[in-house]
């Protein structure tokens, strides 16, 4: 119970931080939008620690994501596949915002929804699951990125049970054009 309360406080603090950043950046919105628009489409590879908070069904977490270069102001679509070493699978898509914090640092909050199958892994209580994530990354001169993300997956109480899972993920993202 205390762990859930702590997690709620952490999420509230992260959302507050994102809201404060967005409010402070409104005067600079055109410059931020230009900065975000210069980023190419990315393919992101992630390796993470699944269920890092509750630790009742820990696993390795593997991710492959496409992050589009199409932007409406700062908002961009993304889609991904996620699998755990316990056999869970999650297909997810949503929206993200690349918020530059300087020449090389990018803060990326994102939200998504998708279909989850627990396989032999953690039962999250429903097929439809939602993911919220915050990532801090270093953007290299070639537009590739190395980042660390914290995410939460839950069914938003759509199911009878909603244990949720938190994942700490190390990402490496490369421009799509470099792959093809």
Given a cut of 70, is residue 20 above it in pLDDT? no
- Which residue segment(s) compose the domain that 76 sits in? 2-179
Q: What is the tally of structural domains in the chain?
A: 1
What CATH number does the domain containing 79 carry? 2.40.160.20
User: Residue 51: what pLDDT?
Assistant: 95
- Give the model's confidence band at 180: pLDDT under 50 very low, under 70 low, under 90 confident, else very high: confident
Angle in degrees, CA 155, 18, 76, rounded to 5: 70
- For the stretch 116-165, pLDDT in tens is 999 998 999 999 999 999 999 999 999 999 999 999 999 999 888 999 99
What pTM was estimated for this model as a whole? 0.81
Residue 135 neighbours by CB under 8 Å, 6+ apart: 106, 107, 108, 109, 110, 147, 148, 149, 150, 169, 171
């Amino acid at each position: 119970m205390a762990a859930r309360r702590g997690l709620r406080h952490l999420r509230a603090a992260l959302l507050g931080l994102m809201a404060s950043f967005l409010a402070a950046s409104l005067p600079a919105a055109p410059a931020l939008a230009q900065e975000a628009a210069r980023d190419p489409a990315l393919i992101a590879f992630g390796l993470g620690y699944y269920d890092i908070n509750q630790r009742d069904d820990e696993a390795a977490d593997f991710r492959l994501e496409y992050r589009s270069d199409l932007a409406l102001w700062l908002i961009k679509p993304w889609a991904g596949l996620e699998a755990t070493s316990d056999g869970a699978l999650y297909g997810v898509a949503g929206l993200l915002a690349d918020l530059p914090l300087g020449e090389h640092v990018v803060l990326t909050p994102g939200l998504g929804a998708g279909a989850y199958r627990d396989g032999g892994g953690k039962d999250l209580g429903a097929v439809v699951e939602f993911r919220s994530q915050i990532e801090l990354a270093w953007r290299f001169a070639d537009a590739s990125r190395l980042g660390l993300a914290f995410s939460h997956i839950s069914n938003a109480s759509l199911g009878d049970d909603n244990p949720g899972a938190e994942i700490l993920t190390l990402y490496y993202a490369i421009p799509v054009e470099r792959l093809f």
